[in-house]
């Protein structure tokens, strides 16, 4: 499947939801809002699949991230991962918590539907664990 088709379908879906996106090479960046809560999402494009990442913002009290803080978040992510059906939580080297999903496409017809479903799941997971990582 051509990346241009995936880009077109993802762009169409995001626009229909009123979401503005920035396209940079094989990445699509956008913000997702749910009420007063907002987070950054990134899609990395591959030939027959995409990796969808959602990043929790840092807590205001976390202006300086220590190794212990990252380790504590990683342990919490591992516990959460035991309950997730799709996707996984992880920490990056800067201490951000990410929710990662992989979507594999079987045809051009299902791109929009699969991305839409993944974004719905992403919203559910981000909201469910928001207080653990942000507030």
pTM of the model as a whole = 0.89
Overall fold of domain 3-133: Yope Regulator; Chain: A, (3.30.1460)
CA dihedral (73, 122, 53, 67) in degrees, to 10, reads: -10
pLDDT in tens, 2-43: 778 888 888 899 999 899 999 998 999 999 988 888 999 999
Helix or strand (DSSP H, E) at 126: helix 111-128
Looking from the CA of 128 toward its CB, the CA atoms found within 13 Å total 12
Looking from the CA of 83 toward its CB, the CA atoms found within 13 Å total 7
Rg over CA atoms, the chain: 15
3 contacts: CB under 8 Å, gap ≥ 6:
26, 45, 47
Looking from the CA of 91 toward its CB, the CA atoms found within 13 Å total 22
Counted residue by residue, the chain has a size of: 135
pLDDT in tens, 76-123: 999 999 999 889 999 988 889 999 999 998 877 788 889 999 999 999
């Amino acid at each position: 499947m051509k990346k241009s088709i995936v880009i077109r379908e993802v762009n169409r879906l995001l626009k229909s939801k009123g979401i503005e996106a920035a396209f940079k090479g094989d990445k699509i960046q956008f913000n997702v809002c749910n009420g007063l809560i907002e987070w950054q999402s990134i899609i990395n494009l591959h030939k027959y699949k995409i990796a969808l990442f959602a990043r929790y913002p840092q807590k205001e009290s976390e202006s300086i991230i220590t190794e212990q803080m990252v380790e504590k978040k990683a342990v919490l992510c591992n516990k959460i991962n035991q309950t997730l059906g799709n996707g996984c939580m992880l920490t990056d080297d800067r201490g951000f918590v990410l929710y990662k999903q992989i979507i594999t496409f079987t045809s051009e017809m299902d791109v929009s539907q699969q991305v839409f479903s993944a974004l719905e799941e992403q919203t559910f997971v981000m909201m469910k664990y928001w207080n653990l990582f942000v507030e």
